[in-house]
Structure 1
Amino acid sequence: MRKIALIVFVFFCACQVRAQQVEVVKFDRLQNVIDSKTDKIQVINFWATWCAPCVKELPLFEKLNADKKDVKVTLINLDFADKEKKVELFLSKKKMTTEVLLLDEIDYNTWIDKVDQSWGGAIPATLIINPKNGKRKFIERELQEGELQKLLAEVE
């Protein structure tokens, strides 16, 4: 019985080690992502674990991240910094691999306009930027299947 308990414990620990680590960041780090001078189109999605439409659209971003190597997907979580372990557990449970940054900025009014002037603050919200030509798209609602590809084409 002890052998089985030890095996289960080791397996559990190994699974925890592989869980995605969430980096807690301030807005300046997010600003660096937005202003990045890369060859890749930037897709930045704002979401939270408690937001049902946000969670519903996450597989679209996971698929885009896996399929399009010329696109950089970054998921900005808004659960607050003290929820880091909760977010990591959520990502592990959903088997997500896309980069996630947990934004530690409680006063949204200080940074929302810096992301996009039209943003009213609702989530999910997605910012798509083509650094090569400067084209941008901002969407403040849940995206549907196939919509990301159309939006990417609009900024290419």
Structure 2
Amino acid sequence: MVMKLNVLTVVILLMISCGKKDKTAEVFKAATEKVVENELNTIDIELEVYDYAGLEKFLNKKDDKIYVINFWATWCAPCVKELPYFEKLNENYNNENVEVILVSLDFPHLYDKKLKPFIAKRALKSKIIALNDSNENEWISKIDESWSGSIPATIIYNKNERKFFEKSFTYEELENEVKQFK
């Protein structure tokens, strides 16, 4: 990082000496954001990683909670778009026996480079699990027989009822589905 900041200093000094003072703040901001982004790539987040057998315990609990389990990935634009709704649901209902679990389907070799920085940058508070099981032809149908495997996909369940959704949600739609379980 020291080397990056030294290069940044040289760039700024060159711009000032060339008479482009008005652009200095803009260049400094852009360069600083790049340094911060690179630093996020080294963040050490404890990530729970399971194969399907390990994930099963989260899919079949028989207690008094309502579980909202969302399957997503950082490379899935509709997934990323709806994540704030799951986070808002987690925040608004965490004292009402509702647990949100975000199951990442990101590729294992990208956990450190993409997934962990994504989690840190967005300050995700919901429980996050990474599913590392390459035998998707077996586990997709075990999660729900109707699931084609596309994401986003969501399961909402309690000890008495279970619903599966292969779609994106707005916050209102998500909240309405959870309320049906109360």
> Which residue is equivalent to 2:68?
43
Structure 1 unaligned residues grouped into runs of 5+: 6-11
> Which residue is equivalent to 2:11?
none
Q: Distance in 1 between matches of 2:109 and 2:127?
A: 19
Question: Residue 22 of structure 1 contacts residue 87 of structure 1 at CA under 8 Å; is this kept in 2?
Answer: no
The counterpart of 1:136, out of the listed 123, 142, 162, is 162
Q: Distance in 1 between matches of 2:172 and 2:73?
A: 22
The counterpart of 1:75, out of the listed 102, 115, 131, is 102
- Structure 1 consecutive aligned stretches of length 4 or more whose deviation exceeds 6 Å: none
Q: Name the amino acid aligned to 2:144.
A: D
Partner SS for 1:111: helix
> Which residue is equivalent to 2:155?
127
- After TM superposition, the score normalised by the length of structure 2 is 0.72
Q: Distance in 2 between matches of 1:145 and 1:98?
A: 15
Structure 1 residues 6-155: aligned runs within 5 Å: 16=43, 20-69=45-94, 70-85=97-112, 86-131=114-159, 134-155=160-181
Same amino acid, percent of matched pairs = 42
- After TM superposition, the score normalised by the length of structure 1 is 0.84
Partner SS for 2:171: coil
Partner SS for 2:180: helix
Question: Residue 80 of structure 1 contacts residue 105 of structure 1 at CA under 8 Å; is this kept in 2?
Answer: no
Partner SS for 2:87: helix
Q: Distance in 1 between matches of 2:176 and 2:147?
A: 20
Report the alpha carbon displacement of residue 155 of structure 1 after superposing the two structures with TM.
2.7
Report the alpha carbon displacement of residue 21 of structure 1 after superposing the two structures with TM.
2.2
Report the alpha carbon displacement of residue 103 of structure 1 after superposing the two structures with TM.
0.3
Structure whose CA Rg is larger: 2
Q: Distance in 1 between matches of 2:156 and 2:149?
A: 17
